Each structure stands twice: as C-alpha cells, then as structure tokens.
Amino acid sequence: MTLRGSTSHPATLLFICSDGSSIQIRSQAFSEGRYLFEVRLPRRSACRLWIKRENSTFRQVTFRASHRRPVPHLYLLEETLDLGHLFIGQNDALIADLDLLSLN
C-alpha cells in the first residue's frame, strides 16, 4: 500500500498502524510551498497519521468521508491513496477530506 501527498511546509510524518508498525518520514522539497511525501504502509491496516512542522509538536490528522464525523485513523484497502495537499497551519485542525481525494 502506497500513501502519497504533499505538505505546505517541511514536515515530519509519523504513521502508527494497527499491526504494531510505525513509520516516520519527512516531506521533501518539490517546489515553492510544496513538499512531497510517499510511504509504503501495511495493507489492510488501520493507521493514524501525525504531522509535525519544524519547531512544533506532533498533531494528529483526522479523516472525514461522506459527511461523517472525522475519524482518527485511515483503513487502507487500495493499492495507492493520494492524500493530495495537506495545508499545515500553526494552530489549525488537521482534517483530510477523503471525498476530495483520488483513489487508485
């Protein structure tokens, strides 16, 4: 399972999955205001995503789909999931709207 996307600032991403695995990566500079990330995660596993900007603490990303309440984990069924661009403000809630994502 491949998860990819971009962030608005350099960021550390931490994935903690239900199979007991945890993976930490950094987004890489691509263009002005856009830092790409791509990670292989365990298939058919529920994973939580935490993001940290430089000089800040980790904040959990929540996921929302089909007008439901945000949930703290993403259950990975597809081969590839593109989260798109995640804007990381200083104090904003980090919610990824799955209705806007491309699933491959």
What is the tens place of the pLDDT at every residue in 23-64? 999 999 988 878 999 999 887 788 889 988 888 888 888 877
* Residue 103: pLDDT band with limits 50, 70, 90: very low
- The fraction of the chain above a pLDDT of 90, given in percent, is 23
Beta bridge partners of residue 31, listed in sequence order: 34
Domains in the chain, please, with CATH?
A: 2-103 (2.60.40)
DSSP state of 6: E
pLDDT score, position 102: 33
**Per-residue pLDDT at 21:** 94
What pTM value is reported for the model? 0.80
Residue among 1, 10, 64 at smallest CA distance from 32: 10
pLDDT > 50? residue 75 = yes
